[in-house]
Amino acid sequence: MNRNRALWIVQGLLAALFLFAGGMKLITPIEVLSMMSPFPGEFIRFIGICEVLGAVGLILPYALRILPGLTALAAAGLVVIMVGATVTTLAIGGGVLAAPTVVLGLLASIVALGRRTSASPGGISLPLVLQAAH
């Protein structure tokens, strides 16, 4: 299996998962979200918005070849969310329950690294942006 196809499979699976998880956070009443988490319901709703936007960002920019570098940035944003989820799960004594968030974070980091140098004409790529900063 070539690298591009493997990345697309991972992107699709992550996008579906984050779209579902974020969507559930958006449709669940804030009072229920507050009871299910040590965080305020509004914060959980914000995380849901970020997850849905991240899911869209994993697919659309690269698929439409419109600023495909945004796909890597969306994946990196989801890595940040998963790091927070892992730390939170471990802080409340979740132990092995943190394993899924670690796996999702690792998969998102693979996408972030795998798509960081890919860009179509008219798009930006992460290395070019970093080179300009030097």
Tens digit of pLDDT for each residue in 80-103?
999 999 999 999 888 899 999 999
Average pLDDT for the chain: 87
- Whole-number Å distance between alpha carbons of 96 and 90: 8
Residue 17 burial by CB count (10 A; 0-12/13-18/19+): exposed, middle or buried?
A: middle
């849901």: which residue's tokens?
Answer: 48
How confident is the model at residue 65, as a pLDDT?
87
How confident is the model at residue 120, as a pLDDT?
42
- Find all residues with CB under 8 Å of 69, minimum gap 6, and list them: 61, 115, 116, 119, 123, 124, 125, 126, 129
Q: What predicted TM-score, i.e. pTM, was given to this entire model?
A: 0.83
The full set of domain ranges for the chain reads: 3-133
Q: Is the pLDDT of residue 117 over 90?
A: no
Q: Is the pLDDT of residue 1 over 80?
A: no
